[in-house]
Amino acid sequence: VVILVDEYEFEANKAILAEKSEYFRAMFGSGMKESNQRILTLHGVPATIFDIIIDCVHGSPLAVTDENLADLVAAASFLQMPCVITGCVFFLRANMDVDNCTDVLALAEMYGVQEIIDEVHKFMRDNYIDFCKSESYQLLGPEKREYLKTLRNSGKQYIGIISKEGAMRGLQVDPDDVKKLHYYDEEQDKWKLLANLPVSRWNCSIAVIDNYLYVVGGFKPRTGDSCFQYLPGAYRYNPCKNSWEEIRAMRKRRRHFSLVPLEGALYAIGGCRMFDSIEKYDPESDRWSIVTTLPLP
> CB–CB of 289/279 below 8 Å?
yes
Over range 39-65, report the average pLDDT.
Answer: 93
Return d(Cα 24, Cα 40) in angstroms, integer. Answer: 10
Which helix (H) or strand (E) segment holds residue 230: the answer is strand 228-230
3-state SS of 109-152?
Answer: HHHCCHHHHHHHHHHHHHCHHHHHHCHHHHCCCHHHHHHHHHHH
Confirm or reject CATH 3.40.50.300 for domain 2-153, answering yes or no. no
Q: Which residues of 74-86 are buried (b: 16+ CB within 10 A; e: fewer)?
A: bbbbebebeebbe
User: Does the pLDDT of residue 106 top 80, yes or no?
Assistant: yes
As a whole number of angstroms, the distance between CA 77 and CA 217 comes to: 51
Q: 126-181 pLDDT, tens per residue?
A: 999 999 999 999 999 999 999 999 999 987 776 665 554 444 444 455 556 667 88
**Average pLDDT over all residues of the chain:** 87
Q: Return the domain boundaries, the chain.
A: 2-153, 161-293
Where are the alpha helices (H) located in 134-238, listed in sequence order? 135-138, 142-152
Helix (H) or strand (E) run with residue 28 in it: helix 22-28
Percent of the chain at pLDDT above 90? 60
Asked if the model's pLDDT at residue 224 lies above 80, the reply is no
Of 6-15, 42-51, 161-170, 260-269, give the lowest mean pLDDT range.
161-170
Please check the confidence at residue 225 and state whether its pLDDT lies above 80: no
- Beta strands 39-41 and 2-5, pairing class: parallel
Q: Residue 60 is which amino acid?
A: S
Would the pLDDT of 297 be above 70?
A: no
Cβ 241 vs Cβ 126: under 8 Å: yes
| Average pLDDT rounded to a whole number, residues 232-237 | 88
Q: For residue range 1-10, what is the model confidence (pLDDT) as tens digits?
A: 899 999 899 9
Diameter over CA atoms, the chain? 93
Q: Residue 78: is its pLDDT beyond 70? A: yes
What is 161-293's CATH superfamily?
Kelch-type beta propeller (2.120.10.80)
What's the pLDDT at 183? 84
- What mean pLDDT comes out for the span 232-245? 91
pLDDT at 256: 83
Which comes out higher in pLDDT, residue 125 or 164? 125
Q: What is the tens place of the pLDDT at every residue in 201-223?
A: 778 889 999 999 999 988 876 66
Average pLDDT in the 278-287 region? Answer: 94
Q: Give the distance, in angstroms, between the CA of residue 6 and the centroid of all CA atoms in the same chain.
A: 41
